[in-house]
């Protein structure tokens, strides 16, 4: 948020304009929203030769603002109304300058304003836009000496106002302004005047609180001390809460670090076990390959013996059965790879403002990690499945070859071999349905899925069904899932299995109404 220093002149001008103020330097957009610097003459009023300074806070147009102002008595043209004035203000956004710099620049600007626009105690123009003004010579240097505004709540309006009767020399005013920043948490505006008439008027009206800071009367100092005393318990309580929070963080740190350390140690053990299992699996793979080759070669040798009539049929059968038993025992003795999965990372338990959002994000990330790890594991295991299946197919092809090219006797032996050799069982593959992006959070209404049903015919392919769904539902489905038809097909099939039949690996719409149609609705 940018900083700005605004130079404002204002005054009362009688009929028809009344009070008017003009930003001569600064943010023109801010000028449209900032409150006026007019005085509530039912609470405080200027008198001849009187002067009033003020400091006020305001949250305007997204800016934290503090304004330092000066009011001096001046009559309106063609009017004897009392309480009229001319004034100047320096308004800061977000940062402020040192008080003595502000006072010097404010007095210089206001003195020039009065000199050029007041004659015989009367304002010589009828609108603030017509003021003749001169920017203080060092005004542009203020921006190099700005500081942050601390411990002040700009968004809370108290509707409380304070008037301090005191010595308003530059040195005193510097201290008053400096200590007033804290009091702006209690009062929206604080006025300072050395005019007894103004003080008596404020006292008589009783609208604004009046205190004195002259002689033995040190009411302003007491206001500051009271504020500090009131804030002290809150500060001490905040310190206790911060210390408690720091202890929680430290405890959570120790717990999380220990958990993380345990996870690392467990992961190292898991890695070692998986590495050992991987070596065993590779060795078993080598053995499995050798077992198949040995069995195939022995079978070929028996076939050759039968072709050359070098062996009796019963002896060949007996040898073959013995080879088969030995082969089955060796294959069954091999172990399937069973790798240990990884361990989830430990999480802290400290609550934050965005805890739910962060949890959803991190949970999604962890689920995605776990899914990738499982897919990787399935891939590793599938290598052995594929190898086993390929070798089994080669063996079957070899047997089929000899079935068609040998004698009736050989046919009988080979037929027995085909019937007796156990074919490795293909494991059932479990496929995981991939999530749509964004994940579906609704399904079509009854009216919508019946519209889809009217456009479906029996034996329509799954991808054609999806096209109909996308065409009939551009808002809730097509606009979000265009380009994800394949993933959408799998999700649709998962939710409506009874509505489809599989023929040679292709799914066709069979019967019944498809009621569970994934969609997405913005919340």
pLDDT digits (tens, 9 = 90+) for 131-155: 999 999 999 999 999 999 988 999 9
Percent of the chain with pLDDT over 90: 53
| pLDDT, tens digit (0-9, with 9 covering 90-100), for 314-362 | 888 888 898 888 888 888 877 666 666 555 555 555 554 443 333 333 3
Contact 464, 488 (CB under 8 A): no
| pLDDT, tens digit (0-9, with 9 covering 90-100), for 118-131 | 999 999 999 999 99
pLDDT at position 29 is 87
Residues in the chain: 523
Tell me: pLDDT of 424 over 50. no
Which alpha helices (H) appear in 193-339, and where do they start and end? 196-205, 219-307, 313-332
Please give the residue that has the higher pLDDT: either 399 or 521.
521
Contact 485, 436 (CB under 8 A): no
Pairing assessment for the beta strands 161-166 and 209-213 based on DSSP bridges: parallel
Tell me: pLDDT of 379 over 70. no
Separation CA 164–CA 208 (nearest Å): 10
Separation CA 522–CA 12 (nearest Å): 55
Structure token digits, residue 14: 């009688």
Pairing assessment for the beta strands 4-12 and 500-503 based on DSSP bridges: unpaired
List of long-range contacts for 371-374, beta carbons under 8 Å, 24+ apart: 371/432, 373/341, 373/342, 374/341, 374/432
Could you give the dihedral angle defined by the CA atoms of residues 352, 353, 358 and 363, in that order, rounded to the nearest 10 degrees?
70
Mean pLDDT on 257-280: 89
Work out the end-to-end distance of the chain between its first and last CA atoms, rounded to an integer number of angstroms: 32
Q: Which residues of 194-224 are buried (b: 16+ CB within 10 A; e: fewer)?
A: bbeebbebbeeeeebbbbebeeeeebbeebb
Structure token digits, residue 464: 């054609």
459: number of CA atoms within 13 Å, CB side?
0
Mean pLDDT on 211-222: 91
- The structure tokens 């609704």 sit at 442
List of long-range contacts for 376-380, beta carbons under 8 Å, 24+ apart: 377/339, 377/341, 380/337, 380/339
Residue 274: Cβ within 10 Å count = 19
Number of H helices, E strands in the chain: 12, 16
Orientation of helix 219-307 relative to helix 170-183, angle to 10°: 50
Residue 93: DSSP 8-state? E
Tell me: pLDDT of 20 over 60. yes
Separation CA 391–CA 386 (nearest Å): 9
| pLDDT, tens digit (0-9, with 9 covering 90-100), for 75-129 | 999 888 999 999 999 999 999 999 999 999 999 999 999 999 999 999 999 999 9
The backbone torsions φ and ψ at residue 218, rounded to the nearest 5 degrees and listed phi first, read -120, 55
Write out the DSSP string of 346-361: P------TTHHHHHHH
CA distance to 292, 377, 384, 385, per residue, from 424 (Å): 11, 21, 12, 9
């Amino acid at each position: 948020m940018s900083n700005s220093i605004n130079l404002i002149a204002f005054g009362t001008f009688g009929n028809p304009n009344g009070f008017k103020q003009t930003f001569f330097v600064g943010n023109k957009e801010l000028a449209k929203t900032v409150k006026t610097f007019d005085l509530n003459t039912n609470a405080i009023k200027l008198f001849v030769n009187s002067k009033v300074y003020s400091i006020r806070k305001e949250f305007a147009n997204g800016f934290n603002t503090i304004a330092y102002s000066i009011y001096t008595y001046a009559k309106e043209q063609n009017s004897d109304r009392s309480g009229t004035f001319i004034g100047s203000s320096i308004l800061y956004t977000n940062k402020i300058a040192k008080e003595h710099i502000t006072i010097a620049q404010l007095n210089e600007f206001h003195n020039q304003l009065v000199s050029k626009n007041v004659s015989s105690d009367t304002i010589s123009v009828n609108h603030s836009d017509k003021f003749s003004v001169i920017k203080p010579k060092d005004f542009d240097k203020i921006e190099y000496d700005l500081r942050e505004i601390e411990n002040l709540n700009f968004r809370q309006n108290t509707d409380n106002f304070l008037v301090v009767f005191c010595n308003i020399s530059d040195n005193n005013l510097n201290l008053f302004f400096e200590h007033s920043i804290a009091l702006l948490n209690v009062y929206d505006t604080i006025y300072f005047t050395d005019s007894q008439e103004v003080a008596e008027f404020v006292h008589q009206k009783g609208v604004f609180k009046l205190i004195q800071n002259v002689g033995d009367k040190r009411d302003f100092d007491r206001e500051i001390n009271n504020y500090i005393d009131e804030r002290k318990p809150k500060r001490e309580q905040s310190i206790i809460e911060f210390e408690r929070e720091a202890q929680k963080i430290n405890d959570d740190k120790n717990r999380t670090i220990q958990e993380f350390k345990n996870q690392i140690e467990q992961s190292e053990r898991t890695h070692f076990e998986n590495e050992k299992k991987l070596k065993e699996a590779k060795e078993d793979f080598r053995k499995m390959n050798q077992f198949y080759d040995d069995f195939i070669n022995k079978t070929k040798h028996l076939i050759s013996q039968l072709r050359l009539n070098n062996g009796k049929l019963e002896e060949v059968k007996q040898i073959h059965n013995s080879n088969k038993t030995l082969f089955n025992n060796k294959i069954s003795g091999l172990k399937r790879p069973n790798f240990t999965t990884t361990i989830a990372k430990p999480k802290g338990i400290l609550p934050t403002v965005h805890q739910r959002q962060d949890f959803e994000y991190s949970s999604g990330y962890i689920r995605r990690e776990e899914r990738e790890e499982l897919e990787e594991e399935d891939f590793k295991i599938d290598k052995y499945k594929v190898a086993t299946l390929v070798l089994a197919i080669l063996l079957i092809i070899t047997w089929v070859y000899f079935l068609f090219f040998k004698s009736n006797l050989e046919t009988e032996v080979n037929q027995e071999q085909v019937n007796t050799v156990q074919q490795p069982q293909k494991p059932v593959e479990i496929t995981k349905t991939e999530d749509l992006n964004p994940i579906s959070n609704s399904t079509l209404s009854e009216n919508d899925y019946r519209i889809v049903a009217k456009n479906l015919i029996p034996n329509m392919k799954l991808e054609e069904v999806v096209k109909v769904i996308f065409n009939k539902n551009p808002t809730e489905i097509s606009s979000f899932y265009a380009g994800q038809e394949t993933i959408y097909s799998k999700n649709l099939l998962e939710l409506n299995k009874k509505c489809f039949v599989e023929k040679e690996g292709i799914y066709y719409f069979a019967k019944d109404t498809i009621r569970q149609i994934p969609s997405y609705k913005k919340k």
